[in-house]
Amino acid sequence: MKHHKHWLAGITALLLGGCATFSDDGGTRNVNEALNSRGITQQAPWIKNDADAVRAGDQVRTLLAQPLTAESAVQIALLNNRGLQAGYAELGIAEADLVQAGRMRNPGFSFSRKHRGEVVEYERAFIFDLLGLLTMPLRTQIEGERFQLAQHRITAEILQVAADTRRAWAGAVAAQQTAAYAEQVRSAAEAAAELARRMALAGNFSKLDQAREQAFYAEATAQLARSRQAALAAREQLTRLLGLWGKDLAYRLVERLPELPPALPAMTEIEQQAMQQRLDLQEAMQDAANLANTLGLTKTTGWFSVLEVSYLRNSESGEPRQTGYEIELRLPIFDFGTAKVARAEYTYMQAVNRAADLAVRARSEVRVAYGAWRTAYDLAKHYREEVVPLRARISEETLLRYNGMLMSVFELLAESRQQVNAVISAIDAQRDFWIADATLQLAINGRSPGAIAAPGGTIRAAAPAAGGH
C-alpha cells in the first residue's frame, strides 16, 4: 500500500512540474526583435484591451500633429491596422496550443458496484494516460515550432504593412509635389496667354502664336485637374493604410521626397542578406523541421495509439481487499500504422522540396527587385544631376537671348514647357526609386513582394511563392 502511495505521489509531482504556462508577452518579444533586426524600429503593439487602444490613439494623434514622414506613417499604420491585430490573435492561439501540449490529459477515475447474491463487489480504478506522458516532450517541441511559425507569420504581415505604407507614402508625396508644380505651371501659362493676348491686340503677336499660348494654358489647366485628382487618389490610398477617418483626414504630408542615398550596395550583398533574413524561407525550413519531428512522433506511435495504466482497488463482501494495476494497450491487428507513417513521410518530402523551390524563387525575386531598384536610382540620379540642371541652363540662356532680342517670346515659352516636363519626370523618377526601395526591403526581409514596380511606374505581377505565399 505504501509502495502505491509513493508511485502516485511521484506521478503527481511529475505532472505538476511539467505543466506549461503562458508567457508574459505572448510571444511578441521575439516578433519585435525580428523586426528590429530588419530595420523596423516602430512599435507594433498587440492591443488587447481598452487601455491599450487609448494609448495607441494618443500616439497616433501625437504623430498626426506633425507633417507625416515615411517613418511616422509606418508607425501610424502599425498602430491602426486591424489585420495585424487578427494576426496577433493567431499568435495567441498558437501559444495556447503550445501550453496545451505541455499539459497531460486529466486522469480518470471509475467506480462500479456489483451484486452477486449476498455478495456486493466494489471496483475502483484510477486511469492515467501513460502514452501522453511519454510523448509530451516531442509534442511540446512540435507545438513550440508551430508557435515560432506563427511569430514568423505576424512578423511578415508587419513587414508587408510597412512596405505598403512606404510605397503609398512615396506616391502621395510625389503626387502632392506634382500637383503643386502643376499649379505653378498653370499660373505661368495663364500669364503667358494674357501676354500673348495683349501683344496680339498691339499687333506684335500673330493670331497663330496667340492660339498656341491659349492652347498651352488650356492644357496646363487640364493637367492641373488631373494632377489634383492623382494627388487625391494617392492620398486616399495612404489614408486607407493608415486607418484614418473623420477629423484625422486633415493630416499633412512633408513637402518633398527624401534625397537619394549617396551610394547603393552590391547585388551579392543584397542576395546574401535575403537568404539569411527572408521570413518565408525561414518559415519553409522551420516547417520542414517541424514535419520531421512529426514524422518521428508518427513512427513512435504508429504501432499503437492507446497506452493507459490504471491503479485498481477492489473490495468484496467478506473477502480481503484487492489492489493492483491494469495496462490497456490497443493492439495493431487491423491497422499497423503504415499508411499514417507513409503519409507523414510524403508530407515531409513535400515540405523539403517546397523549401528548395522557394529558395530559388526568392533569389530570383531579389535579383529582379534589385534590378528595378538600381535602375530607378540611376534614372532619378540622372534627372537630378543631368536633365534638370541642363534644362535650367538652357532656360537661362534662352532668357538671356530673349532679353537681347535674339529670340522671340514664343521660343522662350516653348523652352519653359520643356523644363516643366523635365521637372515632372524628375519627381516621378524619385518617387519610383523610393517605391522600389520599399519593394526591395520586403523582398529581402519578408515574403514574396507580390508585385515589382518597374521604372516608369508600370507594375508587373510576380510569380507566387511556393507554399501559397
Look up the CATH number of the domain holding residue 411: 1.20.1600.10
The three-state (H, E, C) secondary structure of the chain, written as one string: CHHHHHHHHHHHHHHHHCCCCCCCCCCHHHHHHHHHHCCCCCCCCCCCCHHHHHHHHHHHHHHHCCCECHHHHHHHHHHHCHHHHHHHHHHHHHHHHHHHHCCCCCCEEEEEEEEECCEEEEEEEEEEEHHHHHHHHHHHHHHHHHHHHHHHHHHHHHHHHHHHHHHHHHHHHHHHHHHHHHHHHHHHHHHHHHHHHHHHHCCCCCHHHHHHHHHHHHHHHHHHHHHHHHHHHHHHHHHHHHCCCHHHHHCCECCCCCCCCCCCCCHHHHHHHHHHHCHHHHHHHHHHHHHHHHHHHHHHCCCCCCEEEEEEEEEECCEEEEEEEEEEECCCCCCCCHHHHHHHHHHHHHHHHHHHHHHHHHHHHHHHHHHHHHHHHHHHHHHHHHHHHHHHHHHHHHHHHHHCCCCCHHHHHHHHHHHHHHHHHHHHHHHHHHHHHHHHHHHHHCCCCCEEECCCCCEEECCCCHHHC
Structural domain that includes position 274? 265-302+349-469
The mean pLDDT value for 115-130 works out to 69
Of 83-87, 299-303, 359-363, 425-429, give the range with the top mean pLDDT.
425-429
Tell me if 449 is assigned to some domain: yes
Residue 170 lies in a domain: no
Residue 446 belongs to some domain of the structure: yes
In a domain, 447, yes or no: yes
Report yes or no on 39 lying in a domain: no
Q: What is the pLDDT of residues 281-297, one digit of tens each?
A: 777 777 677 666 666 65
Asked if the structure places residue 407 within a domain, the reply is yes
Weakest mean pLDDT among 212-216, 412-416, 438-442: 412-416
For the chain, give the percent of residues with pLDDT over 70: 70
307 pLDDT more than 50: no
Residue 372 located in a structural domain: yes
Predicted pLDDT of residue 396 = 76
pLDDT tens sequence across 345-374: 777 777 777 777 777 888 888 888 899 999
Q: Is 369 contained in some domain?
A: yes
Q: How many domains does the chain have?
A: 1
